[in-house]
Amino acid sequence: MFLDLDRFKLINDTLGHTIGDCLLQQVARRLSDTVRDGDVVARWGGDEFIILIPHLSHPQDIHALAERLLTVIDQVFEIDGNELFVTSSIGIAFFDDPDLNAETLIKRADIALYHVKEQGRNGYQLFELAMDNRAPELLTLEKDLRQALSRQEFQVLYQPRINLLDGSIDGMEALLRWHHPAMGMVSPGKFIPIAEDTGLILSIGKWVLQQACLQNKQWQEAGLPPIRVAVNLSPKQFRQSDLIQMIQSVLTETGLDPTYLELEITESVAIQDIQFTQNIFIQLSDMGVHLSIDDFGTGHSSLSRLQTLPINYLKIDKSFVQDLDSNQKVSHIIKTIVALGKNLGLKIVAEGVETEPQLDFLKSIECESAQGFFFYHPIAVDEATHLLQNHRNPLESIMVDQNLQEMA
Ligand code: C2E
Ligand code: MG
Ligand code: MG
């Protein structure tokens, strides 16, 4: 088994190497405590561990072991007064062919690991022969990504955010797309992690910010009702040392009033080092920029841990909204988030609204805003401009449609 900590570098970069080292020691201890005598846990390098299981009664037993290893790492680590959360990814290869040597076995486990990372981390994968060609594909993707900016293969789409009280569009989220010359559309879920690992995210992210600010300024100059445009910041962007200067200079260059810029960071990045986040957020909020916590509910935190931050919006992760249909408990969770958020003076945005019952529920608990395919998919600039010019109140039009249906 090839085990790698997810986003360990972030901890090292933010909290320092001493804490990073302590974390590795504690991880090593948990791993050793979880395997049996006779199994081998070895540090391979950096945040990578190799676990050798010489005897396994049934090959299927590997699943239970992998689950157990993921779970023990997923528990809170307490180091020097910091509560740290990390997840891990595991690639697994069997010594099922006498021709295999150690090197190939490790390479296979590593390829399987690559697959877990690609599928969003925090999981495990067994190596399959069909995977062999996948890693080279990722390497090609990385190579192409380096040239994508200069080849103008990126496009920013905009997804409207709807104010549920009056149905107006109160913002747009900028979402990046990559049109690969051979592979077609590559989704951000696939290329953002590569951009993040390679550091390319800094130049790509700056480009997105420039585009979004420029576009918003153009909309305002065309006399359209002013809206706020939200731009996502990746973990590495958030930690970049000249973040504040970079944002300030983009605002100055484009002439956009900071109040019409909103920045989104995910909950897990925000809570990684709350003091750091607070420091950055205060500077941004003093500039007049608005701030949101993205994917809220997925990051092991609570609203009380976030309440020291100057936040404007809390975006409830789309997985909650999508579970609404099947899981009663989820409606209580969303209701609680909305109520608590209100007490703390935050606006709540529900992400991923796809159906009318979901919308009705959100309105019934007085959630302020929503985003989702039910209203609009992410759309290209021309369509967004058109929409802002002719914006019909989407809630009204839904009501009109309903009335027409009832009459018919
Ligand atoms: P996010 O910031 O949470 O963005 C919301 C994602 O949900 C978008 O996926 C959007 O297309 C999708 N979505 C919106 N409404 C619905 C719905 O009703 N149903 C479903 N199933 N999905 C919906 P997208 O565009 O693929 O982006 C995925 C993630 O990639 C984003 O999640 C964000 O974390 C990241 N990302 C996208 N653009 C950028 C960027 O410019 N910079 C950075 N750093 N990250 C970006
Ligand atoms: Mg977002
Ligand atoms: Mg989100």
User: What confidence tens digit (pLDDT) does each residue in 5-25 have?
Assistant: 987 877 887 788 899 999 999
Question: Do the beta carbons of residue 131 and residue 111 sit within 8 Å?
Answer: yes
Q: Which residues contact 224 (CB under 8 A, 6 or more apart)?
A: 385, 388, 389
pLDDT at 100 (0 to 100): 87
Is 398's pLDDT higher than 60? no
Cα–ligand 2 centroid distance for 113 (angstroms): 27
Is 121's pLDDT higher than 90? no
* b/e code 279-302 from CB counts within 10 Å (16+ = b): ebbeebbeeebbbbbbbbbebebe
**Ramachandran area for residue 152 (φ above 0: left; ψ -120 to 50: alpha; else beta):** left
Best-predicted range by mean pLDDT (126-135, 319-328, 388-397): 319-328
**Between these two residues, 391 and 186, which has the higher pLDDT value?**
186
Least confident among 10-14, 41-45, 82-86, 220-224: 10-14
* Ligand 1, atom 43: closest residue by C-alpha: 232
Is 192's pLDDT higher than 90? yes
* DSSP track, 239-281: H-TTHHHHHHHHHHHHT--GGGEEEEEEHHHHHHTHHHHHHHH
Give the atom of ligand 1 at the shortest distance from the alpha carbon of 373.
Answer: 18
Range 301-316 average pLDDT? 87
Is 243's pLDDT higher than 80? yes
Range 271-297 average pLDDT? 94
Instruction: Check pocket membership of 20 for ligand 1, CB cut-off 6 A.
Output: no
Least confident among 179-183, 384-388, 401-405: 401-405
Question: Do the beta carbons of residue 88 and residue 122 sit within 8 Å?
Answer: yes
Range 283-306 average pLDDT? 88
Instruction: Check pocket membership of 354 for ligand 1, CB cut-off 6 A.
Output: yes
Instruction: Check pocket membership of 319 for ligand 1, CB cut-off 6 A.
Output: no
Is 117's pLDDT higher than 60? yes
* Per-residue confidence band for 140, with pLDDT thresholds at 50, 70 and 90: confident
* DSSP track, 26-90: HHHHHHHHHSPTT-EEEEEETTEEEEE----SSTTHHHHHHHHHHHHHHS-EEETTEEE---EEE
* Ligand 1, atom 8: closest residue by C-alpha: 175
pLDDT digits (tens, 9 = 90+) for 357-380: 999 999 999 999 999 999 999 999
* Ligand 1, atom 27: closest residue by C-alpha: 188
Ligand 1 pocket test: pick from 194, 206, 232 the residue with the most ligand atoms within 8 Å of its Cβ: 232
Instruction: Check pocket membership of 388 for ligand 1, CB cut-off 6 A.
Output: no
pTM > 0.75: yes or no: no
Residue of 186, 200, 87, 96 lying closest to 149 (CA atoms)? 200
β-sheet bridge partners, residue 50? 2, 42
* Ligand 1, atom 4: closest residue by C-alpha: 175
Is 400's pLDDT higher than 70? no
pLDDT digits (tens, 9 = 90+) for 50-76: 999 999 989 899 999 999 999 999 999
pLDDT at 60 (0 to 100): 92
Cα–ligand 1 centroid distance for 17 (angstroms): 32
DSSP code of 298?
Answer: S
Structure tokens at 41: 């846990």
Cα–ligand 2 centroid distance for 263 (angstroms): 9
Structure tokens at 129: 């022969």
Q: CA 275 to CA 296: how far, in whole Å?
A: 19
Is 238's pLDDT higher than 70? yes
Cα–ligand 1 centroid distance for 347 (angstroms): 19
Give the atom of ligand 1 at the shortest distance from the alpha carbon of 195.
Answer: 44
β-sheet bridge partners, residue 173? 159, 230
Residues near ion ligand 2 (Cβ under 5 Å):
232, 264, 294
Range 168-194 average pLDDT? 93
Instruction: Check pocket membership of 358 for ligand 1, CB cut-off 6 A.
Output: no
Q: Which residues contact 345 (CB under 8 A, 6 or more apart)?
A: none
Least confident among 162-166, 218-222, 316-320, 395-399: 395-399
pLDDT at 408 (0 to 100): 45
How confident is the prediction for the chain on average, in pLDDT?
A: 90
Residue for token pair 């300030």: 248
Is 111's pLDDT higher than 70? yes
pLDDT at 118 (0 to 100): 77
pLDDT at 133 (0 to 100): 61
